[in-house]
Amino acid sequence: MTMNRRQFLQAASAAAVAGAFSFPAFAAPGVLPEKWDEEYDVVVIGSGFAGLAAAIEASDAGASVVILEKMRTPGGNSIINGGIMAVPGSPEQAAQGIKDSPELMMKDMLKAGGQLNHPEKVRFLCDHAVDTYHWAVEKVGCRFQSKRIKQEGGHSVPRSLFTENGSGSAIVTKELAYLEKKGLKPRTRCFAQTFLRDTDGRVKGVLVRDGYRFPKADSGKLKAIRARKGVVLAYGGFAADAKYRQIFDPKLTDKFDTTNQPGATSESWREASRIGCQMIQSDWIQILPQTSPDEKGFGIGFAWSGHVSMFGLWVDAKTGKRFVNELANRKVRADAILNVRNMGHDAIAIGDSGTAKSFEIIRPGMLKRELDRKCVFKCETLEEVAKRFGVPVEELQKSVATVNDSVKTRKDVMGRPVNKDMQPLGTGPWYVARMSPKIHHCMGGLLTNLDTQVIDVEGKPIPGLYAAGEATGGVHGQVRLGSCAVIDCLTNGRIAGQMAAKNATWM
Ligand SMILES: Cc1cc2nc3c(=O)[nH]c(=O)nc-3n(C[C@H](O)[C@H](O)[C@H](O)COP(=O)(O)OP(=O)(O)OC[C@H]3O[C@@H](n4cnc5c(N)ncnc54)[C@H](O)[C@@H]3O)c2cc1C
């Protein structure tokens, strides 16, 4: 059934006023506009790593593409991201003699994911990660630092590469530049409000609000966009949506800060459910352990605490004792820090002048910025650390001794893997950051197959609908390992773009 354009847009306007959970006539399966305002082969929703990778591949395959972005600027969480990407078997690892393999990365991901990850998705990702690395470097022009390889918590070897500027922006800007050369720019302030699914099951287009002002639901001009071949859902996660995230995990109230951009909200998650997409594991929402309570959002203090997790120690300020393996997976560490904080104690990350020296090499100027921002504090002696943070000094000295023992014996009492470059601690000045976890990542989302087709509640692929990135579930299970999201978004984003471009056109 079709509605004429006026009836169709009137129904859509009425729906926006009635509220997001209404089920308006125009959104019923099979109700399509008689006339479309615009037409493209592939419509991509979201302009982060995944959406841009999909747009690149779809466009290179000859498809006409539009990229819809509801916010004022493109890039989503990807452009503010920490810039680390896991690659098992990169040339950078080989140059440093680090032995790694897709199998080992898969083992690490499944272990952290509590085996909730869908093994075929993990296998696919790990097998294609090196290929995506070459795609990013050789095709898109991304650069990774050659000497700096991080061992993130839960990974058995150092395999996380840093972008040239230590931020995801170094990837997003290259993706945008690649697309711009092809005459393609994300259409910002364009919110994909309704996914139009026909009675034959196929998704045939989207109803957008052009000129949308986030978060005003009824802003912008309604337009119907036809997707001749496919729609790619790359709308990211909902970590910034306190109300929605509490449906899945009631602990995650608005008392928690988030690392996410303000537009990481749930509208598209609800819309995907409405058209019958199978959602999985949406209640696994990650909290980033080592963020700082002394600044807002993602901030910069995490960088010192993260470096200290390899080369220093984390301590309960009230007891002076280490309270967790500083390189355990994110859930273990976040839960441990929350436990300390729930007792009213501070959880602090401590490193000495040696730790600061190695930090300066890999993140030049960062420690000074952190000190200036007052999310890291300098103390000349361990006694001064104890006094400033109320730590029993003898216990603190014993805790430092456990780290120094681990350097000698290559075994750590807390079970932390001992980094080959780890040095004994003992020379001031000491640098200390407080830690308070912030809501970070949605592990769950749309169920997809290896061709990135979205599966519906009846277990069948939805014709014309593809998805990639944080909008999807199944790759990370209960805990995403640090640096595995970038590679997931790029790898599956590429596939989604290729598949959508290859799909048959509907008449
Ligand atoms: C601060 C921070 C640091 C991180 N650091 C790392 C790291 O170093 N390594 C790593 O692997 N992972 C990291 N992550 C996780 C990773 O960055 C994200 O999982 C990833 O960026 C998600 O990419 P995406 O393309 O799926 O979505 P996003 O980049 O979030 O993009 C989705 C876009 O879709 C838009 N959108 C949503 N709904 C609509 C709609 N209906 N219509 C139009 N537009 C819409 C959003 O506004 C957004 O711009 C980090 C995350 C954060 C928040």
Per-residue pLDDT tens for 138-170?
999 999 999 889 888 899 999 999 999 999 999
Nearest C-alpha neighbor of 230 from the set 429, 448, 74, 73: 448
Average pLDDT over residues 315-334: 96
* CB of residue 179 inside a 6 A radius of ligand 1: no
pLDDT at 214 exceeding the cut of 70: yes
pLDDT at 410 exceeding the cut of 60: yes
CA distance 250 to 252: 5
Instruction: Name 255's Cβ contacts closer than 8 Å, sequence gap at least 6.
Output: none
Supply the DSSP string of 466-493, one letter for each residue: EE-GGGB-SSSTT-PPTTHHHHHHHHHH
Task: Report CA-CA distances (Å) from 236 to 1, 73, 311, 322, 390.
Answer: 32, 15, 33, 35, 41
Question: What percentage of the chain exceeds 90 in pLDDT?
Answer: 91
pLDDT at 122 exceeding the cut of 60: yes
* CB of residue 186 inside a 6 A radius of ligand 1: no
Instruction: Out of 165, 260, 486, give the residue to mutate to test ligand 1, the one with the largest number of ligand atoms within 8 Å of its CB.
Output: 486
Contact 288, 302 (CB under 8 A): yes
| pLDDT the model gives residue 20 | 41
Average pLDDT over residues 233-241: 98
Residue 50, φ and ψ in degrees, nearest 5 = -70, -50
| pLDDT the model gives residue 19 | 46
Average pLDDT over residues 203-220: 97
Q: Enumerate the β-bridge partners of residue 160.
A: 86, 150
Average pLDDT over residues 97-103: 97
Average pLDDT over residues 50-62: 99
Q: 183, exposed or middle or buried, with CB in 10 Å at 0-12, 13-18, 19+?
A: exposed
CATH architecture observed for domain 290-436: Alpha-Beta Complex (3.90)
Average pLDDT over residues 216-232: 97
| pLDDT the model gives residue 22 | 43
Contact 49, 59 (CB under 8 A): no
26-40, 208-222, 491-505: which has the minimum mean pLDDT?
26-40
CA–chain centroid gap for 482, Å, is 9
| pLDDT the model gives residue 23 | 46
Instruction: Out of 81, 267, 291, 295, give the residue to mutate to test ligand 1, the one with the largest number of ligand atoms within 8 Å of its CB.
Output: 81
User: Which amino acid is present at 415?
Assistant: G
CA distance 325 to 460: 43
pLDDT at 16 exceeding the cut of 70: no
Cα of 83 from ligand 1 centre, angstroms: 12
pLDDT at 362 exceeding the cut of 70: yes
* Residues listed for the chain: 507
Nearest C-alpha neighbor of 45 from the set 164, 190, 145: 190
With H, G, I as helix, E, B as strand and everything else as coil, classify residue 49: helix
With H, G, I as helix, E, B as strand and everything else as coil, classify residue 9: helix
CA distance 215 to 471: 19
Q: Provide the mean pLDDT of the chain.
A: 95
Question: Which DSSP symbol is given to 429?
Answer: P
Average pLDDT over residues 109-122: 97
Per the listing, tokens 């810039």 go with 83
Per the annotation, the verdict on 202 as an active-site residue is no
| pLDDT the model gives residue 507 | 85
CATH topology match: 40-287+440-507 vs 290-436: no
pLDDT digit string, tens, across residues 414-442 = 999 999 899 999 999 999 999 999 999 99
pLDDT at 332 exceeding the cut of 90: yes
| pLDDT the model gives residue 147 | 84
Confidence of residue 21 (pLDDT cuts 50, 70, 90): very low
CA-based end-to-end distance of the chain: 14
Q: Enumerate the β-bridge partners of residue 210.
A: 190, 221
Question: What percentage of the chain exceeds 70 in pLDDT?
Answer: 94
Task: Report CA-CA distances (Å) from 297 to 40, 52, 283.
Answer: 37, 24, 22
CA distance 238 to 72: 18
Residue 161, φ and ψ in degrees, nearest 5 = -85, 145
Contact 417, 151 (CB under 8 A): yes
pLDDT digit string, tens, across residues 281-322 = 999 999 999 999 999 999 999 999 999 999 999 999 999 999
298 Cα nearest atom in ligand 1: 1
Residue tagged active-site, from 209, 330, 434, 494: 330
| pLDDT the model gives residue 91 | 97
| pLDDT the model gives residue 344 | 97
- Domain 40-287+440-507, CATH homologous superfamily name and number: FAD/NAD(P)-binding domain (3.50.50.60)
Cα three-residue angle 123-126-131, rounded to 5 degrees: 125
493 Cα nearest atom in ligand 1: 25
pLDDT digit string, tens, across residues 375-401 = 999 999 999 999 999 999 999 999 999
Instruction: Out of 45, 72, 78, give the residue to mutate to test ligand 1, the one with the largest number of ligand atoms within 8 Å of its CB.
Output: 78
Taking residue 30's Cβ as centre, other Cβ atoms within 10 Å add up to: 13
Q: What residue spans define the domains of the chain?
A: 40-287+440-507, 290-436
| pTM of the entire predicted model | 0.93
Average pLDDT over residues 227-239: 98
| pLDDT the model gives residue 153 | 87
pLDDT at 479 exceeding the cut of 60: yes
Cα of 341 from ligand 1 centre, angstroms: 28
